[in-house]
Amino acid sequence: MNTRGAGRQDPSSPENYPLDPFRYVVIGLVWLATFLFWMAWFLQAPLLVSYWGNVEHVSFGSAEYLLSAVSIVSIFTALVAGYGYDRFGPRKATALCLVFISLGFGLRTFTTGDFSATMLLTIVAGIGMPLIVAPASLAHQWFGRHRMNLPLAIGYSAIPVGQAAGQLLGARMRADLGIEREFGIMSIALVAVLILWWVIVPEAPKQPAGPPSVETAPLRTALRDVVRIKNAWVLFFLAMTLSGAVVFTGSFLNRFLTSTFHLTSVVGGNYASIFSGASFLGVLILGYLARGSRTTREFGLATAVGWLLAWIAMTIAWFVGGVPLWAVLVLLAFCGFCQAACYNFGVNAMERGEGIRPEMSGVAAGFYFTGSGIGGFVFPTIIARIVDVLHTGAGLVGPIVLLTAGTILWAATFAPRRRRAADRTPGVAQQATVGQ
């Protein structure tokens, strides 16, 4: 048998699908675009109290909209994001997302004294949220489906790094430059990466990087099938709880640290960035450890439990009193280490769940992100309003409620599925009900 000839027939063989040398430039640019989006978004977190509260006299419950409002539009766009990338192509779809992000976050430099206008621009920027699809779509196009792990890890690492940069630099840039220049710099950066993307990135590599994609199922058909599979709604509600906990924590940490330890907003931002910085390490390390797991549910449950226990420990220490700053930072780092990986494991469990066919995976991910958008807006908004009345303690208890629900939901994914009546009828082929 000619093994060399057989190797050349392998669709995943690099000889059959040569890689374009420009591929790392493309994935690098989408990393930069994703980084700037999340940085511009979380740049507001240290300013909710120090600027919008103390200078513009906006309550914390209202100011928090500047983080959660980004998720409003994603409630309606998440399901069709993958279709948009298929229809327009990754280059045009990414550029369109960057146009809305540049308009929304770019024009904030002119509305620093108008909270309502700034919130409206935040919603406009949220139209560009389908940018979250870009790393996966471009990795598939430029590297091939069989070589996506590394470019995906690179592309999605921009999210926690961007969050950390926003927390770290939000208050510092305002202190050094003023809020108009701070937002102005972000405007220039966003427009520059949009222009760079449109000028440099071609529509596709010169040669295909892998086998042709599986034809996507019609949205209505795929969605009908997705919602019927095991754990679909469990993971949908899981996405709601995890996203709500992440977005609220991002808006709350600076307030919590500055008020508890009497820090400036700049120092509070420095320490708050530890949470997102640790998320970057968690995604890489835990993602590597989970590489052999088909659905990663056991890793999802473990990270949810770890995140919950660390947050409970921090909350108890705060209520007891006398908790040292270093202990809080260690617990925050552990929470951050678990949080992003826990969310990503949920996406993986949805896309690779029992009954999910390749042509349905994009819709399955969109279904998960829809839950994420709902939770990322609704839960932080409710908890922030409660914090206005009950103060810091409520801000610590709120994530505990969400994480407890998330842990229960992860555990529920291990429950055996109840068989339908048709499956119990003699002569009807039985469906496997083993774990995913």
Domains of the chain: 21-206 (1.20.1250.20), 218-415 (1.20.1250.20)
Residue 408 makes CB contacts below 8 A (sequence gap 6+) with none
The whole-angstrom separation of Cα 23 and Cα 163 is 25
pLDDT score of 84 more than 90:
no
The whole-angstrom separation of Cα 353 and Cα 357 is 9
- Return mean pLDDT, the chain: 83
pLDDT score of 3 more than 80:
no
Tell me the residue length of the chain. 436
Instruction: Give mean pLDDT, residues 277-301.
Output: 82
- Where does the pLDDT of residue 50 fall: very low under 50, low under 70, confident under 90, or very high at 90 and above? confident
Asked if 238 and 374 count as a contact pair (C-beta separation under 8 A), the reply is: no
Helix axes 361-390, 70-88, angle to 10 degrees: 170
CA 31 to chain centre: 14
List pLDDT tens digits, range 189-243.
999 999 999 999 888 777 665 666 666 667 777 788 888 888 889 999 999 999 9
- Where does the pLDDT of residue 145 fall: very low under 50, low under 70, confident under 90, or very high at 90 and above? low
What is the model's pLDDT at position 29?
A: 92
Q: What are the structure tokens assigned to 407, written together?
A: 């842990």
What is the model's pLDDT at position 209?
A: 57
- Where does the pLDDT of residue 12 fall: very low under 50, low under 70, confident under 90, or very high at 90 and above? very low
pLDDT score of 71 more than 80:
yes
The closest alpha carbon to 109, from 224, 13, 188, 213, belongs to 188
Residue 130 makes CB contacts below 8 A (sequence gap 6+) with 74, 77, 78, 81, 84, 85, 93, 97
What is the model's pLDDT at position 234?
A: 93
HEC readout, the chain: CCHHHHHHHCCCCCCCCCCCCCHHHHHHHHHHHHHHHHHHHHCCCCHHHHCCCCCCCCCHHHHCHHHHCHHHHHHHHHHHHHHHHHHHCHHHHHHHHHHHHHHHHHHHHHCCCCHHHHHHHHHHHHCCHHHHHHHHHHHHHHHCHHHCHHHHHHHHCHHHHHHHHHHHHHHHHHHHHCHHHHHHHHHHHHHHHHHHHHHHCCCCCCCCCCCCCCCCCCHHHHHHHHCCCCCHHHHHHHHHHHHHHHHHHHHHHHHHHHHHHCCCHHHHHHHHHHHHHHHHHHHHHHHHHCCCCCCCHHHHHHHHHHHHHHHHHHHHHHHHCCCCHHHHHHHHHHHHHHHHHHHHHHHHHHHCCCCCCHHHHHHHHHHHHHHHHHHHHHHHHHHHHHHHHHCHHHHHHHHHHHHHHHHHHHHHCCCCCCCCHHHHCCCCCCCCCCCC
pLDDT > 70 in the chain, percent? 84
The closest alpha carbon to 23, from 214, 204, 213, 212, belongs to 204
The closest alpha carbon to 179, from 265, 254, 101, belongs to 265
pLDDT score of 54 more than 50:
yes
pLDDT > 90 in the chain, percent? 33
pLDDT score of 2 more than 50:
no
Instruction: Give mean pLDDT, residues 294-307.
Output: 88
pLDDT score of 106 more than 70:
yes
Least confident of 47-61, 349-363, 372-386: 349-363
What is the model's pLDDT at position 306?
A: 95
Cβ-based burial of 170 (10 A; exposed 0-12, middle 13-18, buried ≥19): buried
The whole-angstrom separation of Cα 89 and Cα 87 is 6
Residue 329 makes CB contacts below 8 A (sequence gap 6+) with 271, 274
List pLDDT tens digits, range 314-340.
999 999 887 899 999 999 999 999 998
List pLDDT tens digits, range 385-434.
998 888 888 889 999 999 999 999 999 988 776 654 444 444 434 443 33
